[in-house]
């Protein structure tokens, strides 16, 4: 990855890093290549819904922390990908392409509102912070008055695009 695509990603990583909270680790690295994510998306689509948060985290770490090629079948096998579901992945792609102004990341909220780019990242950061606070209170035995986010559907349903791996931060 070089030239303008690399510079764009460097700027985006700087913006993402500005959303980190005090003490939150910065493990992100700039990938050396931009993989074709068709295979990873089909693998994610075949993952049972209950296992998707874990798979999202594995895929995210493989790309953004380890620098692995998500377009490589050996990489996906190492990550424990069971199989692929190309028809679901194709449906997600069609839904993504039908959206007005698609951008990564993007969240479709339960009420239909679409949050894009840095706004979506800020929402994810807030959700992660809220979840961390709830987990901390739970560990201390204090009652938590709000419902914990445990179902990705509560955040607007399944992602129509592989690039929404960041939503694993709130699972």
DSSP per position, 98-146: HSSS--SSEEE-TTS-EEEHHHHHHHHHHHHHHHHHHHHHHHTT----S
pLDDT at position 140, please?
63
Categorise residue 116: left if φ over 0, alpha if ψ from -120 to 50, beta otherwise: beta
pLDDT at 148: 38
Please give the pLDDT value at position 159.
39
**Residues of the domain holding 40:** 3-170
Name residues of the chain where pLDDT drops below 70.
Answer: 138-171
DSSP lists the bridge partners of residue 106 as: 116
Structural element, H or E, at residue 10: helix 3-17
| Interhelix angle 52-64/38-46, nearest 10 degrees | 160
Please give the model's pTM, rounded to 2 decimal places: 0.60
What whole-number distance in Å separates Cα of residue 46 and Cα of residue 26?
30
Cα–Cα distance, 106 to 160 (Å, whole number): 10
pLDDT on residue 80: 87
Q: How many domains does the chain have?
A: 1
Tell me the backbone φ, ψ of residue 162, rounded to 5 degrees. Answer: -55, -30
């Amino acid at each position: 990855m070089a030239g303008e695509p690399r510079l764009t990603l460097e700027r985006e990583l700087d913006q993402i890093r500005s959303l980190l909270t005090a003490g939150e680790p910065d493990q992100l690295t700039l990938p050396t290549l931009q993989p074709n994510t068709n295979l990873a998306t089909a693998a994610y689509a075949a993952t049972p819904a209950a296992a998707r948060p874990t798979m999202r985290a594995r895929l995210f770490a493989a790309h953004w922390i380890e620098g692995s090629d998500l377009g490589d079948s050996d990489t996906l096998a190492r990550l424990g990908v069971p199989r692929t579901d190309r028809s679901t992945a194709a449906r997600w792609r069609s839904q993504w392409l039908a959206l007005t102004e698609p951008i990564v990341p993007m969240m479709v909220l339960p009420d239909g509102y679409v949050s894009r780019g840095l706004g979506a990242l800020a929402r994810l950061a807030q959700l992660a912070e809220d979840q961390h606070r709830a987990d901390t209170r739970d560990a201390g035995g204090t009652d938590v008055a709000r419902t914990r986010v445990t179902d990705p559907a509560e955040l607007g349903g399944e992602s129509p695009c592989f690039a929404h791996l960041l939503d694993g931060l709130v699972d």
